[in-house]
Amino acid sequence: MISVGIIGGTGYTGKKLIQYCNSHPFVENYKIYSGKSAGENLYDYFPALVGLVNDTKINSVNDLSYEHDLYFIALPHGESLNYIPALISNGKYVVDLGGDYRLDVEALYEKWYKYSHSSSYLLKTKTYGLADYPSTNYDDLKLVANPGCYPTAVLLSLLPLVENLSEKILSVSCVAYSGTSGAGKKAKTELMLSEMDGNVKAYKVDGHQHEPEILQQLVKKGFDSSFSFTTHLLPVATGIYLTASVHLNESVNQEEINEIYYNVYKNSPFIRLRNTPPELKWVVDTNFCDINVTVKDKVIIITSAIDNLIKGASGQAVQNMNKLFGWDETFGILNKEIKDAAVY
C-alpha cells in the first residue's frame, strides 16, 4: 500500500487522478495540493465527486511535505520545476504529467517552451513513460515523464512501423485533432462554445511544442525520414484523433503489417487493434488507444483515437505508477469484466 500526493488536483486531469486513486486497490490514501485553491473544498470544483471521495480538503503547495510515497504533478509547463528536484532528492517517486522533463536536451526547452531548464541534470535520469509500448523501461528510477496527449497517439501508432521498417520509410505525415480540454480549464476566448461550435481550425502549424517530443522518440527507434505534424481543434470537449500517412520505398502487404502490430501490442491491455478506422466516441472516458492500419501498396494509413485527459494524461499516469511498483497496469483503471477484451 502507498500514499499519493496530487499536486495540481483541481484541473481536468487532477479530477481523473483523484477518481483513479480513489478506486485503486493499493493506494491507501491521497492528498490534493494546489496554490490558488488551497483551503477550499474539493466539492466546490467537482460537485460530481460528492459522496465518492472522503478527503475533500485542498492543501497548500506551500505546506508540501514528503509524507507520500509517490507524487503526481499536474501543473502547467514550467511549474513542475519548482517541486520535482526536491521530491526526487528526498527519494520520492514522481510522475510528471507536464512537459518539463519529456525532452532529453536542455536547449530544446528554450526553443520550444521558452524557458531555461533549472534541473536539466534530471533529464537523463527519467524515463519517458509511454506505458503501452513494451520496451519502456521502469527499472531503478524515480522520475517518469508522462507523454503528451498528441505524442501518445502518434507514437503508439508509428513506433511499431519505425522499429521494424525504418529503412523502407520515405516520409510520414501526421494530421491530428484535439478536443478543447487539451488547453486546460483557463478561460480563453478562442475556445468558447460560441467560437468553436460548428468549427474546425488548424493551430500552431509547424510550431507545436509536442513535435520535438515525438521526433525524439522516433529517432531512438531508427527514424531518419521526412516528417510533418499538423494539429487542429475540434468542436468537442475531449479526444484526440490522428491520421498518419506513411510513404514507403517499396510495397508491403496487409498481413505483414498486421502481424507487426499484433506482435508489439499482444500483451498491451489498453491497445485495441481495429479492423476499421476507430471513432472518437469509442475511446472517450476510457484509457484505450484504438488503432487501425490500412495498407495500400506503398502507403500505410494509420488512424487512431484516444481520450486526451485519460490515455493522454491521467490514465497513462496511473499506468506508469502501476509499472513503477510492479503491479498489474490495469489496477485502478480498468473494470475486470472488460480486461480480457482489450486486444482485437
Give percent above pLDDT 90 in the chain.
72
Measured CA to CA, the distance from residue 249 to residue 39 in angstroms comes to 60
C-alpha cell at 85: 528536484
- What is the secondary structure of 79-116 as a DSSP string? TGGGTHHHHHHTT-EEEE-SSTTT-S-THHHHHHTSS-
What is the pLDDT at residue 339? 42
- Mean pLDDT of the residues in the chain: 90
Q: Residue 344 above 90 pLDDT? A: no
Confidence of residue 191 (pLDDT cuts 50, 70, 90): low
How far lies 76's CA from each of 46, 109, 267, in Å?
20, 14, 33
Q: Residue 174 above 50 pLDDT? A: yes
User: What is the pTM (predicted TM-score) of this model?
Assistant: 0.91
Angle, helices 211-220 vs 149-165, to 10°: value is 30
Residue with cell 524515463: 127
Q: Residue 343 above 50 pLDDT? A: no
Q: How many CB atoms lie within 10 A of CB 123?
A: 19
Measured CA to CA, the distance from residue 241 to residue 43 in angstroms comes to 32
Q: Residue 88 above 90 pLDDT? A: yes
What is the pLDDT at residue 340? 40
Q: Residue 183 above 70 pLDDT? A: no
pLDDT: which is higher, 45 or 86:
86
What is the pLDDT at residue 138? 92
Measured CA to CA, the distance from residue 279 to residue 303 in angstroms comes to 9
Which is it for strands 289-296 and 299-306: parallel, antiparallel or unpaired?
antiparallel
Q: Residue 76 above 50 pLDDT? A: yes
What is the pLDDT at residue 4? 96
What is the pLDDT at residue 184? 53
- Please say whether the beta carbons of 38 and 49 come within 8 A: no
What is the pLDDT at residue 341? 38
Q: What is the set of domains in the chain, with CATH numbers?
A: 2-146+311-337 (3.40.50.720), 150-307 (3.30.360.10)
Give percent above pLDDT 70 in the chain.
93
Q: What is the mean pLDDT of residues 142-150?
A: 96
Burial 207-233 (b: 16+ CB within 10 A, else e): ebbbbbbbebbbeebebebebebbbeb
Confidence of residue 203 (pLDDT cuts 50, 70, 90): confident
Measured CA to CA, the distance from residue 100 to residue 97 in angstroms comes to 9
Confidence of residue 209 (pLDDT cuts 50, 70, 90): confident
Could you tell me which residues are beta bridge partners of residue 306? 240
Query: For the chain, where are the E strands, in sequence order?
Result: 2-7, 27-34, 58-60, 70-73, 93-96, 127-128, 143-145, 169-178, 201-203, 226-233, 240-248, 271-273, 289-296, 299-306
Q: Residue 24 above 90 pLDDT? A: yes
Confidence of residue 198 (pLDDT cuts 50, 70, 90): confident
What is the tens place of the pLDDT at every residue in 223-255?
999 999 999 988 888 999 999 999 999 999 999
Catalytic residue numbers? 149
